[in-house]
């Protein structure tokens, strides 16, 4: 596992290489930074967004399965 300073150096190198930092996502554990945060997407947000679509497609799949196996 890379140390935090190594990860920071890699990010700085990407930035110097022209990578758009707004399109870069970093996943880590135990590290927090509030610099230019674009947004957070958590489990509750996913449930709100995909809950209705999941219910629809789940019911649709059950309906189709019922047609195939009845």
4-13 pLDDT, tens digit per residue, is 578 788 888 8
The answer, as to whether pTM is greater than 0.85, is: no
Q: What is the 3-state secondary structure (H, E, C) of the chain?
A: CCCHHHHHHHHHHHHHCCCCHHHCCCCCCCCCCCCCCCCCCCHHHHHHHHHHHHHHHHHHHHHHHHHHHC
Task: Pick out the chain residues at pLDDT < 70.
Answer: 1-4, 31-41, 70
């Amino acid at each position: 596992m890379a140390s935090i300073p190594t990860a920071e150096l890699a990010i700085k190198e990407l930035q110097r290489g022209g990578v758009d930092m707004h399109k870069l996502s970093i996943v880590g554990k135990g590290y927090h930074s509030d610099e230019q945060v674009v947004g957070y997407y958590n489990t509750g947000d996913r449930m709100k967004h995909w809950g209705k679509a999941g219910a629809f497609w789940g019911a649709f799949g059950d309906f189709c399965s019922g047609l195939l196996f009845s």
